[in-house]
Structure 1
């Protein structure tokens, strides 16, 4: 009888411990963060004004600020005032892998939400809407995309822009000689050095590298634009609780007006490190997405 009592007590204690361990019912990223005490943000080094390094090599930008709000929501939900934040650099070629394999918990950059990418990662509600455009030197004599036929051009490796440009080149038989930069800074440098006639990328990213160049007047962005995919914050797939928290945070910012305030700060006022103003007003499409947030990719 005594043995039965001891067994019952042991079983009860085990149940209590198991219940305590799972009382919060955490899963996925939230469970990982709770157990490690750290949330890891992925950042870009030259995706102005979304995620880039300031004069002190600290990651800053619009997407970094949005992720900062997510961190605060995680801290509150988990009751972790001492939650640590780690920063891990990513680029166009590594970002999906580092999110998918758990190295990065949430990527705070300029990543487009695409159906193909959803097979590897998940996305928040849209945070920006871009268009593909061309950047050239003002002394290149290039006035329109037609002037680029047969010329060397550059695009950043691992981007949806790269996929688009390859298809455009093939479909329209442009004869472009396409090279790839490892990041936006390198792609821009190829144009600056005259090794590429033009750089195709999202309009806002081109505006960012142009504004932060030594002499912005040396470069121009062509008027012609092509439809691109919406940007979003990126995290691991099949993690509904974390996605719900991220989306709830972003939608709350949109409804409160804080999202618009952050947009104004990074797109329409002087920003570090050189206090340059991108003068990039919010598009009508983004205004629509603020009123009716969506995590849908272009079909």
Structure 2
């Protein structure tokens, strides 16, 4: 069974909660009328929001914050506000907030100025680096060792953009940058040897590693 190491890549990311920038008043009015808070959760952003197979629903730090938010909204409106969960991906989370399919995304979304043009963000509640996860027996020990290797990142994330940008600048010269559709597929690609290193936030990589049957 493979064991995994985390290789630090020096970009600090700030995680926030995300809501609509243009429909805040209408959103609050709708929540008050319907008694429902429509929330987007990722399925594989451990430890923030993920599906626990034991209970078959979303759990995690951001999920806990969601129910605290619903409680505060209940107090504000003087009525019970229920959480209505929606599954989002890195690719769909911002469009689903922007087009009002959901009221807020509660996960591990990094603030960027580009994203703030279409959605609004809460105060920052978590900082994390962009890092790489590699098998423990991998020859990759430093950033320089990424040269000639196949690197993976999730579509629609700042992590993927960071490694693409730094590769373009010549910080390292990978053989290939592979785009995956989520953290679980990325981790599977790493475990099966389709990629040599998988990149996302350090906190998320720690979650993926600890969930594995042999995380050390």
- Normalising TM by the smaller chain, what interval? 0.7 to 0.9
Gaps of 5+ in 2: 1-23
SS in 1 for 2:130: strand
1:67-98 alpha-carbon deviations (Å, 9 max, x no partner): 211111111111112x2221000010000011
Q: Which residue of 1 aligns with 2:17?
A: none
Q: Which residue of 2 aligns with 1:247?
A: none
Cα offset for 1:148? 1.4
SS in 2 for 1:96: helix
Task: Tell me which of 123, 137, 140 is aligned to 1:139.
Answer: 137
**8 Å Cα contact 2:41-2:86 kept in structure 1:** yes
Q: CA RMSD in A?
A: 1.3
Q: Which residue of 1 aligns with 2:151?
A: 153
* Residues 1:79 and 2:78 aligned together: yes
Q: For 2:208 and 2:171, how far apart are their aligned partners in 1?
A: 29
Q: For 2:47 and 2:171, how far apart are their aligned partners in 1?
A: 34
Gaps of 5+ in 1: 1-25, 218-299
**8 Å Cα contact 1:155-1:162 kept in structure 2:** yes
Q: For 1:98 and 1:152, how far apart are their aligned partners in 2?
A: 31
**8 Å Cα contact 1:38-1:84 kept in structure 2:** yes
Q: For 2:194 and 2:136, how far apart are their aligned partners in 1?
A: 15
Q: For 1:45 and 1:57, how far apart are their aligned partners in 2?
A: 11
Cα offset for 1:175? 2.6
More strand by share: 2
* Residues 1:61 and 2:60 aligned together: yes
Q: Which residue of 2 aligns with 1:188?
A: 187
**8 Å Cα contact 1:30-1:74 kept in structure 2:** no
**8 Å Cα contact 1:49-1:205 kept in structure 2:** yes
1:174-233 alpha-carbon deviations (Å, 9 max, x no partner): 33110111001111111110110101111101100010012213xxxxxxxxxxxxxxxx
- For this pair of structures, how many residues does the alignment match? 191
- TM-score, normalised with respect to structure 2: 0.85
- TM-score, normalised with respect to structure 1: 0.62
* Residues 1:45 and 2:43 aligned together: yes
Task: Tell me which of 123, 128, 139 is aligned to 1:130.
Answer: 128
1:122-172 alpha-carbon deviations (Å, 9 max, x no partner): 000011001111110112222112111011110011001111111010102
Query: Which structure's CA Rg is the greater one?
Result: 1
Q: For 1:31 and 1:173, how far apart are their aligned partners in 2?
A: 49
1:222-252 alpha-carbon deviations (Å, 9 max, x no partner): xxxxxxxxxxxxxxxxxxxxxxxxxxxxxxx
> What stretches of structure 1 move > 6 A for 4+ residues in a row?
none
**8 Å Cα contact 1:153-1:178 kept in structure 2:** yes
Q: Which residue of 2 aligns with 1:90?
A: 88
Q: Which residue of 2 aligns with 1:12?
A: none
Cα offset for 1:34? 1.6
